[in-house]
Amino acid sequence: MTGIKRLAQHLNVSIGTVSRALNGKPDVSEDTRKRVLEAAAAIGYVPNQAGRALRKGATGVVGFMMQTGSEITGEGDVFFMSVFDGVQAVFARHQLDLVALLCSSEEDPDAYLQRVVARGFADALMISATKREDHRIDFLAGRNIPFVALGRSQTDAGHPWLDLDFEGMANVGVSRLVAKGHRRIGVFAPLDDINLGFVFVDAYRQVLERHGIAFDPDLVFRVFPNERGGHQVAHAIAAMPADKRPTGFVLTNEVMSVGLYNGLYQVGLVPGKNFALIGRDSPQAHFLVPRLTCFRLSLRDLGTALAEALLATMPAYAHHYPLGIVRKVMPLELVEGQSDMPAPP
């Protein structure tokens, strides 16, 4: 007798019910699913997923591709884990498992993704760190693999995406500092061709123009997006002639503020006293003195929205999430702190 037949007899349910429960289909009650999984564990029944994937094209797994490597996550992660919390809250409703696909920064993301797809163990993918032109989007769309992108791109395959409102951060942050009398306002931009850098710098230029302030490329500080990068920005500012230095700064990255604070203190620029800083909220930023004026959004909500946008495109789940193709910029809230004082007269 096959394992599944034995399991069905043992539980006095149909083979179809056992199969649907094991495959995480939504039309099985939680109670039944629990009974089936417990009984399967008790009798040591391990359905061969490889076989199941061949038959049904469904693995019950969704992969979230994120970049790793000492320049990026060597100091830890204060973003993705919270996003994953939200994704998992949605996936748990459907017995879907989230796995994090860790693409080393030393590896080409396109080749990595192709290999992941070749391995064939996920039903759908979430991609992040989207580039200005991102081949992964065309690759996935061309193979009809359901996916959602965290981050916009100029590559458009009619796919769903969510992104942070970098334009809003540029607009609110720069305008706030201008209103406080600042004219030389520095910003951070990444070193690589990740799309958010282009979006933010474009928006920064536009808001400066609206305020009648000339764009100065020396005020765009390009470093690795980590704490060390924050330090480097502070020391780069200190190395500028006094009349060329920014008097304020808008930082859109969530891991750099601790390093930037520390570096600013080292060079005698004290946030909220003689240097105005607006940053991104993070668990560590809560401990900064003086309190950081910062942009905040719920990363858990972002994760929830990402998961729902993905499921909305998957035939097995779309009826639960009649959202169409989600393309949404998530707004951030400005939380007032004490780090952005008016410019010196």
Residues of this chain that bind a copy of itself (CB under 8 A): 22, 37-38, 40-41, 44, 46-51, 53-54, 59-61, 63, 68-70, 73-79, 81-82, 84-85, 88, 92, 97-102, 104, 106-107, 110-111, 114-122, 142-143, 227, 258-259, 261-262, 282-284, 287, 300
d(CA 192, CA 228): 17
- Tell the smallest beta-carbon distance from residue 119 to a copy of itself (Å): 4
CA distances from 129 to 134, 136, 137, 340 (A): 10, 11, 12, 29
Q: Which long-range contacts (CB under 8 A, 24 or more apart) does 270-273 make?
A: 271/339, 272/337, 272/338, 272/339, 272/340, 272/341, 273/341
Tokens of 281: 């909220």
- Closer to a copy of itself by CB, 215 or 287: give it: 287
**What SS3 class is residue 173?**
helix
Distance CA 246, CA 35 (A): 63
Question: Sheet harboring 276-280: ordered strands across?
Answer: 220-222, 185-189, 248-250, 276-280, 293-296, 333-335
Tell the smallest beta-carbon distance from residue 208 to a copy of itself (Å).
Answer: 32
Which candidate, 295, 293, 283, 246, places its Cα nearest to that of 267?
246
| Closest distance of CB 104 from a copy of itself, Å | 5
Choice between 160 and 263, CB closer to a copy of itself: 263
Residue 60 Cβ vs a copy of itself, minimum distance, rounded to whole Å = 6
DSSP-derived letter for residue 164 is: E
Is the Cβ of residue 75 or residue 192 nearer to a copy of itself in the bound state? 75
Nearest approach, Cβ of 152 to a copy of itself (angstroms)?
24
Which tokens belong to 267?
């060079």
| Shortest Å, Cβ 197 to a copy of itself | 22
Please report how close the Cβ of residue 333 comes to a copy of itself at its closest, in angstroms.
Answer: 18
Query: In angstroms, what CA-CA distances link 300 with 41, 71, 84, 292, 305?
Result: 32, 24, 7, 21, 9
When the beta carbons of 150 and 178 are compared against a copy of itself, the nearer one is 150
- Report how far apart, in Å, the C-alpha atoms of 50 and of each of 13, 60, 178 are: 24, 12, 59
Q: Between 68 and 313, whose beta carbon lies closer to a copy of itself?
A: 68
Rounded CA-CA distance 165/327 in Å is: 12
Residue 171 or 338 with smaller CB distance to a copy of itself:
338
For the residues of 119-155, what is the DSSP string, one character each?
HT--SEEEE-S-BSS-HHHHHHHHTT--EEEES--S-
Closest CB to a copy of itself among residues 7, 326: 7
What does the alpha-carbon distance between residue 35 and residue 40 come to, in Å, rounded to a whole number?
8
Cβ distance to a copy of itself smaller for residue 88 or 171 = 88
251 CB-contact burial (10 Å; exposed 0-12 / middle 13-18 / buried 19+): buried
Shortest gap between Cβ of 39 and a copy of itself (angstroms)?
12
CB of 205 to a copy of itself, least distance (A): 32
Smallest gap from Cβ 116 to a copy of itself, in A, equals 7
In the complex with a copy of itself, which residue's Cβ is closer, 143 or 244? 143
Nearer to a copy of itself, 89 or 179 (CB): 89
